[in-house]
Amino acid sequence: MKYYDELLDYINGLEIVDTHEHLPIEAKRDMKADVLSEWLSHYFSCDLISAGMSDEDMAEAKNPSIDLMKRWKKVESWWKAAQNTGYGRALEVAARDIYGIKEINSRTILKLNEAFIEARKKGGHYKRVLQDMSKIAVSIRDTWPMEAELDSADKFVFTF
């Protein structure tokens, strides 16, 4: 285990350059979004569709104006089919490490949403997750349409 521990310590000390990031500028995040609509706006929605979820159910699941539990019921069976994909595993890691929720299911989705909304309200969420927790030194945003704010004081995030 000596070599494992040495290697793990070395890896944990590395800083990362994130060369392909699609996150919006934090100040421009959709404040109406909840955890489900936010998480389904990214690649994991494709895993759910591949698992068999209909486009209509996906559209409803992404709509934060509809009750969260009603939308979770639309997602739940497909979640079970897709949770072990790379994107599904990443969401479980995020739920656990960022929000303190050990498992994503019907018993935890409301608590996960509360933690998600609270973190967004506090501000500085990207810094905490990307820089402090993930040790990302620089994040290069790759968005379309361009939302360049190159004169921003935040030199952590560059936009191309």
Do 88 and 47 touch, CB atoms closer than 8 A?
yes
- pLDDT at residue number 28: 78
95 belongs to a structural domain:
yes
6 belongs to a structural domain:
no
Q: How distant, in Å, are the alpha carbons of 41, 63, 64, 73, 99 from that of 85?
A: 16, 23, 24, 20, 20
42 belongs to a structural domain:
yes
109 belongs to a structural domain:
yes
68 belongs to a structural domain:
yes
Closest to 71 (Cα-Cα) out of 48, 43, 37, 94: 37
Q: Domain containing 72: what range?
A: 13-159
- 36 pLDDT tier (thresholds 50, 70, 90): very high
123-135 pLDDT, tens digit per residue, is 888 889 988 999 9
Alpha carbons 86 and 124: distance in angstroms, whole number: 26
- pLDDT at residue number 156: 61
Q: Domain total for the chain?
A: 1
74 belongs to a structural domain:
yes
pTM of the model: 0.84
- pLDDT at residue number 149: 55
